[in-house]
Amino acid sequence: MKRMLLRMLSGMAIAGLVVVGTPLAGGENKPMDIVDTAVGSTDLSTLVQAVKTAGLVETLKGEGPFTVFAPTDTAFAKLPKSDLDGLLKNPDKLKEVLTFHVVPGKVMAKDVMALSSAKTVQGGSLSIDTRSGVKVNGATVIKTDIVASNGVIHLIDTVVLPE
């Protein structure tokens, strides 16, 4: 009986860890910002590296809110290596490309469905097509509504480039 009770308590403790999840940024009791959320993702390491290189960490940790159409590592891998290397060596161009993926405000998936375009932080405009899934400048949105304390992230399968 004692052993069974111990197993039940252990199971509840583990279940409690699953429900609570991983510690939040700085161990504080608030959601992580966009940068910390991206850092915690296994799909966004190239984006995180690019954000650091472009000097956008503090901006994306700022108050916001921001909506980030975040290219996954697979999306960055679609770029020719020489193009990606060139971007990573040119912080100004990289900043232009990355801010083209950011829309001011918190635009959730349900909100995106009602849009045909969105103005970016970079100054350009993203075309939005919702006829068959959701595409942003031709990139398919593969995961939506990753909520952060200062906005939301939607994962896309292609790096979109400003014209």
pLDDT in tens, 97-145: 999 999 999 999 999 989 999 999 999 999 999 999 999 999 999 999 9
Say if 74 falls within a structural domain. Answer: yes
Say if 120 falls within a structural domain. Answer: yes
Which pLDDT band holds residue 31 (cuts at 50, 70, 90)? confident
Which pLDDT band holds residue 20 (cuts at 50, 70, 90)? very low
Say if 71 falls within a structural domain. Answer: yes
Question: Looking at residue 132, which CATH number applies to its domain?
Answer: 2.30.180.10
pLDDT in tens, 34-63: 999 999 999 999 999 999 999 999 999 999
Parallel/antiparallel/unpaired status of strands 151-156 and 66-71: parallel
Host domain of residue 139: 31-156
* Whole-number average pLDDT of the chain: 85
Tokens of 44: 């966004």
